[in-house]
Amino acid sequence: MMRRIRQPVEPRFERSARWLYDAHQRREQFGPLPAELAPKSVADAYAIQAAYVGLRREHLGPVVGYKIALTTQAMRRMIGMNDSIAGDMLEKTVLRGPARVRAADYVRLLVEFEIAIELADDLPVVGAPYTRETVAQSVGAVMPAIELADDRNADYSAVAANPLMLIADNAWNEGAVLGAPVRDWKRLDLQALQGVATIDGKRIGEGRGADVMGHPFEALAWIANNLASRGLGLWRSDVVITGSLITTKFPKPGQTVRFDAGELESVELRVE
């Protein structure tokens, strides 16, 4: 597998990342960086994200995959962005279902219900721009997933005033719970796939594979192109969670969250 190469980070971005990391350690409410440290562009925000993720790697291991957020126009309008955004997933935060997490380990745990993709081949920078058809050639497996995230009690009405902070804060990602990989995915119609979410057996939402950018592989192509624009690639065994088919939920201690994804079967999370 090819090694990930990260560009050196400017000292200002390192200071921004340290401020953000310390805010997490103090379990502070999500909020903007001080003006002198705040990102002034999307490029700045991703540079801060890279430095912040670098600090987290010491305890949570290397980057093993990515998430995509704001996959619908409605969500982008609400946050004040004109494109989707990407976040990194670290090794120790990616779990195999059925899994258990403690609500106390998060300021405010939220979950989303997604189709995850595991790569069998690299998608390097030199291959960009990618399309749904070209990324499909590198897909090794598809599986249901529950994203783990922490909005740190964000005031959503105020997030739109500082939308670049969502990128800098790694799109709030705290990992994912993955179901069993389905390697003969070519027999499935992922666009038509039906997903149903439940908490303690009660249905709380449903969606289709087409609800995220029209097809999960469109989201994979978006991630590959986003990374390529930053000089980065996707590598064999990386996992990408492609965006939620169902609206965000906030599970409580003692609840069991389940995502049934038709022929992809299901994945389950117990919150303690």
The tens digit of pLDDT for each residue in 48-78 reads: 999 999 999 999 999 999 999 988 776 777 7
Mean pLDDT confidence for 129-135: 98
Whole-angstrom distance, CA of residue 42 vs CA of residue 32: 15
- Domain-wise residue ranges, the chain: 63-271
d(CA 91, CA 169): 18
Cα torsion through 159, 162, 167, 170, rounded to 10: -60
- CA dihedral sign of residues 63, 65, 92, 28: positive
- 63 by Cβ neighbours in 10 Å (0-12 / 13-18 / 19+) ranks as buried
Architecture (CATH level 2) of domain 63-271 = Alpha-Beta Complex (3.90)
pTM of the model: 0.93
DSSP state of 42: H
pLDDT, tens digit, for every residue of 89-113?
999 999 999 999 999 999 999 999 9
Average pLDDT over residues 6-12: 68
Alpha helices (H) in the chain, listed in sequence order: 11-25, 42-60, 73-79, 132-136, 156-159, 164-168, 216-229
For residue 1, pLDDT over 70 is answered with no
The mean predicted confidence, pLDDT, of the chain is 94
Q: How far apart are CA 254 and CA 272, in angstroms?
A: 5
pLDDT, tens digit, 9 for 90 and up, residues 231-248:
999 999 999 999 999 989
